[in-house]
Amino acid sequence: MAITLSRMGVKYTQPSSAVRDKLRPVYGENADSLIASSQVIALNFQTVAAANNYWRH
């Protein structure tokens, strides 16, 4: 779910899937891009976890 949200953010900014596919190998092999990506996922995970009230019940 956090990952779906992260993908949506990228999709909105670059709607062309052809361009996104071209970029994937670039950042997939770059350590800093991977770290930045996992930061976006971490932010979205905060939202999802809070939305689910941290699965408390």
Q: Can you give the binding site for a second copy, defined by CB under 8 A?
A: 3, 5-6, 8-10, 12-14, 19-20, 23, 26-47, 49-56
**Closest distance to a second copy from the beta carbon of 9 (Å):** 3
Q: Which two tokens stand for residue 39?
A: 């930061």
| Distance, C-alpha 11 to centroid of its chain | 10
Residue with tokens 């971490």: 42
**Which of these, 33, 15, 12, lies nearest to 24 by C-alpha position?**
33
**Closest distance to a second copy from the beta carbon of 29 (Å):** 6
**Closest distance to a second copy from the beta carbon of 7 (Å):** 8
